[in-house]
Amino acid sequence: MYTCQRALLRPRGANQRLIEAQVGNSYLRNLVTEYDVAYLVLKHPAITNEVSLNLMEILDTVYSVLENVTVDDWLVSLGDASLPTSATVPKRQAGVAKFNDAFSAGYILNRVHPTAGEGNEYPDEDLTDILMTKPEMNYELLYRNCLVNVNGLFHITDYSTRGLRIKDAGRSTYFANNHDIGLISFLDVGKVTVTPITEAMIKPKGTNPLKNGFIVHMPKIDLSKRIVMLSIGGYLHYGEQQYSVTGDRSIDVQWYNLPLAQRYHNSKHLIDLSKFDDTMTRNPNHGEALDLNQANTDEAIKAYMTLSQSFVITIEASNLYYMRHGLERTKLPGRYVSYERPRFPMQLENGLMPSYIAIVEDDLYSIAVTDNMVNRYVADKQPVSGDMYDNGARLSSERQKYASAYFLEFGTDYLA
């Protein structure tokens, strides 16, 4: 007769990890309804070693058992009957996404024209892209496995034998007067595919305006067996924050949950938002204030969602979890303290994911970023006024503060 030693399980849903548990007293059918991975590790008097049973491969047998039958009771009921077990017990494998600063990693960065070859002379304003190079680097490997952010906002990339091209990064560094570039490698997690969002991919829900939410249709990529993340205006969305995958080729974007005004004021000096701005007419009585009525028209939303910093990210992995590891604020400009070795990307409370340098100091790590000041907007504390203009006004009592921050661990674990 088989006896259950333990189970290897992963709960259904987002941001779940593999666990090991004792399940002898658990209802057998619950294991296949509450978990998407369910292996029983069994022993049998006639077998020397432990064996494993994948419950997902015997669903018909499991559902033939009454709902209130436990694992132990089920095994007893089998008597000497055999099960389709495997002679090997799967082991947990894991991989995490790792971060590196481009300059620290030895990359050479040059502003280049978006279409012309190197060596040609162009005005500085025409050098809108950045070409990232490094001797003996496999640029296709870099492109297939990495995400790149520029001054905390993600940019789409492409590659050739000459290097990794970061689209509009030259324009962004010009806007920000800063060129911090970070790399997040998903090499140990799964291959990354980045798809620009076009207007044709943006579908309304029935006759509703896009501000009530919309669908991003992916005609060429099957999402059913991939992890999906979004970059919207350069801000990374993960774990189904403000979106959800609703079909093999559909992503439901909850536009109304995005803090649009805050992001607009925070990013207008970091990336070129003229495509979005050009959809709106400025009211001379309100200066540069953002008219939220105009900013939420279909035209404006399509412009924002088709910025070069807005794209769909898919990762070829069976699951993805994320964990936040808090950093200690020092109340000094651009400085944090970490008690663990830095290897993950970093995120500030306003959503930016800046590049950082880690310095060992007295068995701790000093984490240095260029800018960690965040604005404290009035609109964060009270609703925007009835005329729906948001001028980015800040609290008079504390206009800015040093941002709280954390390391963001992306990882996958699986049985092999």
Instruction: Quote the pLDDT of residue 384.
Output: 58
Cβ(415)–Cβ(8) below 8 Å: yes
> DSSP assignment, residue 46?
T
Instruction: Report residue 271's pLDDT band, with 50, 70 and 90 as the boundaries.
Output: very high
The first and second tokens of residue 281, run together, are 């007419």
Q: In what order do the strands lie in the sheet with 181-185?
A: 98-101, 181-185, 146-150, 153-155
Cβ(71)–Cβ(28) below 8 Å: yes
With a threshold of 0.85, does the pTM exceed it? yes
Answer yes or no: is pLDDT of 300 > 70.
yes
Cβ(390)–Cβ(288) below 8 Å: no
Q: What is the pLDDT of residues 174-226, one digit of tens each?
A: 999 999 999 999 999 999 999 999 999 999 999 999 999 999 999 999 999 89
